[in-house]
Chains A and B, each alone.
Chain A
């Protein structure tokens, strides 16, 4: 602080009026009645992500080319960005502020690029040794089980991972076709996760049949069940068991296992979910003519919108408002299927309008092969009875996964019914965190309500309209006869351009606006933050008004 200079008499004064000191003695902060302060809020994308990835942060780190830190940021809440970056239904993007401005940031593609970088740089994943005494059994190696095992192992707990199939991955391996997620990527992701901590794998073991839950309860300190939905729901029609008719899931399993299958010339797929889309798109790659028949309309389809678009682009035909009524055969072989026309009635308990048959209106379709994909069910053999179940699903706390017995936790589709990969990852991680808190005797963290920033809170004068950068892909004509991955991912240049589009809602990304416009030079630009000098801040609040992303708030003085 510079002292104010005062002259006792004119003799003290210099002969000419000249500056002897600065004005720093004048603490203009006393003029202020409102004070600005940095107050970071929650970006809507983060609130929209089931596993709460810190999207704003990792995209910011990408803009600074700090890729390893960006990757580590994702890993804190999602251990498999290379997978979710390919298959996630990205609810984050439908919450992105930019969708109200031009087009959402392609968070999904950015995540994939970072995930792939993580696979190419195995050194980024630090190895953890088993430091804790407790042991946990994780049953099922789908996204929920893998995620739970990973976060337990990262905290130093020893995990035994049980899988009934020969290979790990669950629905990621058997349910998702090669063109969306290749086995090569899946294998690399899984092996990187297994190497990261003390995880022992036991494949080909069916828990509930070969090993009972009681045994697990005895041998382990906690058990996580992430067994998923493994049984196809049947159509409930006469002649369903015969030749030419197959469950979509078993077809997918064969295709994904690398088996050569010929689905026939004319293929019909019953259902409107993701399995139906996957089956249809696999069949079209094998050279079939594929029609998807769904009993409601495109608006009610539970499949990811992007999947429906892709299927249409690839030549899959859709027939809405129809359901199979009768199967016609010539001897053993399937010849045609008679369909009942439907119309939409009143909404049912799921909120979707219930399809109702239109009396007497039917049509016949000649088919070689019919796949049913009307939903999957959990196989609760050996679980029901031990744990409380409801609606053929395990009853567990939706947030933390706690089951009706103390040591048991569950998560993923086996608790929620058919949901998504990212929700399963979130469930696995949250159950792991809850177990860890239990083992270490830590209390539950306080729940803080998110303050989510929307476009009305932002100063959009600082943004310009820029279209989303499309992900490069192989041409639709080239998909026949190949299960090559359709999207080839961003180049480094596109990655950078897309990351630059992020508004960084509610969180400072060091755009310098506050520092530039402060008329009182009261904002100091430090190494990794700005500091408001309250000795001099007059409280004009230009910094708050001119912050494009609402990363500052105000508080009245004396309150």
Chain B
């Protein structure tokens, strides 16, 4: 047998309460493998507040601070400050929130922590709706999607909020996107984030088979297709928002194929798919152009 492709240590155990094929659970397992035991977690209301288990049990073998919905980032800031006051500069503090607690409810706390550049890792596992409370739309829900608050007769017409640009506007030292289908990429990004001082924001695409009305075994496949169809580009923003790197080394796949396996897009008609495909391509072109533009600014070329 060859050496293992990722660290063997498991800080997350079995018996947790996630649904079958949960992407958020995979993401947590990958992140903890890199961060190691010297880590404290802050989890607001979100799926993970439930997945972790029932009091007094926990599926994660690390201290977790469960907080109110809107306060993940600020509690993490406070936790880090408290640890430093006691002379502990080693422990990594990671806020771990869903897209609702990041894009909507937790935005002000996150913005505050980012503006102060507090030394925390903030990971948003993005499953594109409030899944834990019953699949309500969030500002991360993509255009065209069904949720219980955007039924098929009135599906979501508004595009997904561009959280990455919002975070980039804060000039924090490190921003990245990831996908559960590319665990090595994600783990490398978490490792990098751990080595940087200041606020680090990582947004990982974590499919929710339950909320997306999809077979659980397609969880990883859809996470992969989201990247290769350019719906969810993998990128890194470094040097306080001045450098952008977009991952392009893949065989492009079709947006339609990615969406068609998910029940939440089943009601869409061909012309609506056409429009979505156009928008995805447009956004991708803009992203690549931005990468080029940033690279062409004198003084930034290495």
Contacts and interface: CB of A to CB of B under 8 A. Distances in A.
Interface string A6-36: 0100000110011111111111100100000
Contacts of B12: 521
B238 interface: no
Contacts of A4: 57
Contacts of B219: 519, 540, 542
Contact of A520 (B2, B16, B61, B66): B16
Contacts of B300: none
Interface stretch (A170-178, A313-321, A351-359, A522-530): A522-530
B58 interface: yes
Contact of A546 (B8, B29, B57, B220): B220
A481 to B, nearest CB: 48
Given A516-B6, A541-B217, A23 B53 contact: yes
B1 to A, nearest CB: 5
A23 B57 contact: yes
B18 interface: yes
Contact of A22 (B59, B216, B217): B59
A186 to B, nearest CB: 37
Given A517-B26, A519-B18, A546-B220, A19 B4 contact: no
A461 interface: yes
Interface in A497-542: 510-512, 515-517, 519-522, 525, 527-528, 533, 535-536, 538-542
B14 A536 contact: yes
Contacts of A525: 4, 8
A237 interface: no
A519 B22 contact: yes
Categorize the interface residue count of chain B: 35 or more
Contact of B57 (A21, A522, A535): A21
Contacts of B14: 23-24, 28, 520-522, 533, 535-536
A328 to B, nearest CB: 63
Contact of A512 (B5, B17, B224): B5
B288 to A, nearest CB: 22
A5 interface: yes
B21 A28 contact: no
Contacts of B183: 516-517
Contacts of A168: none
A59 interface: no
B53 A26 contact: yes
A219 interface: no
Given A461-B224, A540-B217, A19 B1 contact: no
B1 A527 contact: yes
B217 A545 contact: yes
B84 interface: no
7 tightest CB-CB pairs across the interface, nearest first? A23-B15, A536-B14, A540-B21, A541-B217, A540-B20, A26-B15, A540-B216
B221 interface: yes
A544 interface: yes
Contacts of B15: 22-28, 536
A534 B23 CA distance: 20
Contacts of B221: 461, 545-546
A45 B64 CA distance: 52
B57 A19 contact: yes
B177 interface: no
Residue with the greatest number of chain A CB neighbours at <10 A, chosen from B15, B216, B220: B15
Residue with the greatest number of chain A CB neighbours at <10 A, chosen from B5, B14, B23, B224: B14
Interface of B: 1-2, 4-6, 8, 10, 12-18, 20-23, 25-26, 29, 52-53, 55-59, 61, 63-64, 66, 183, 209, 216-221, 224
Given A22-B59, A519-B29, A546-B220, 8 more contacts: A22-B13, A23-B17, A28-B15, A516-B6, A522-B14, A536-B14, A542-B21, A544-B217
Contacts of B66: 17
A64 interface: yes
12 contacts: A22-B59, A23-B53, A28-B14, A28-B15, A515-B4, A517-B220, A520-B25, A521-B13, A527-B1, A533-B14, A536-B15, A540-B21
A365 B90 CA distance: 90
Contacts of A510: 1-2
Nearest to A525: B4
A546 B218 CA distance: 9
B20 A538 contact: yes
Interface string A299-323: 0000000000000000000000000
Given A516-B5, A519-B21, A536-B15, A17 B55 contact: yes
A218 B221 CA distance: 68
B20 A528 contact: no
B166 to A, nearest CB: 29
A4 B53 CA distance: 11
B56 A5 contact: yes
Contact of B13 (A20, A24, A64, A545): A24
Contacts of A17: 55-56, 66
A464 to B, nearest CB: 9
B10 A528 contact: no
Given A4-B57, A24-B14, A519-B26, A19 B217 contact: no
A533 to B, nearest CB: 7
A522 B16 CA distance: 11
B6 A18 contact: no
Contacts of A64: 2
B8 A26 contact: no
A5 B6 contact: no
A511 B6 CA distance: 11
A275 to B, nearest CB: 46
A212 to B, nearest CB: 57
Contacts of A25: 15, 57
Given A533-B14, A536-B15, A540-B216, A528 B56 contact: no
A21 to B, nearest CB: 5
A10 to B, nearest CB: 12
A536 B18 CA distance: 12
A542 B57 contact: no
A504 to B, nearest CB: 12
Contact of A545 (B10, B20, B218): B218
B216 A23 contact: no
B220 A5 contact: no
Given A521-B29, A540-B219, A542-B216, A20 B5 contact: no
A14 B57 CA distance: 13
Contacts of A516: 5-6, 183
B218 A521 contact: no
Contacts of A20: 56-57
Residue with the greatest number of chain B CB neighbours at <10 A, chosen from A7, A22, A515: A22
A26 B54 CA distance: 10
Residue with the greatest number of chain B CB neighbours at <10 A, chosen from A20, A22, A23, A519: A519
Contacts of B64: 19
Contacts of A522: 14
B152 to A, nearest CB: 26
Nearest to B2: A510
Contacts of B56: 5, 7, 13-14, 17-21
Contacts of A27: 15
A77 B151 CA distance: 63
Nearest to A539: B20
Contacts of B218: 545
Contacts of B209: 540
Nearest to A544: B217
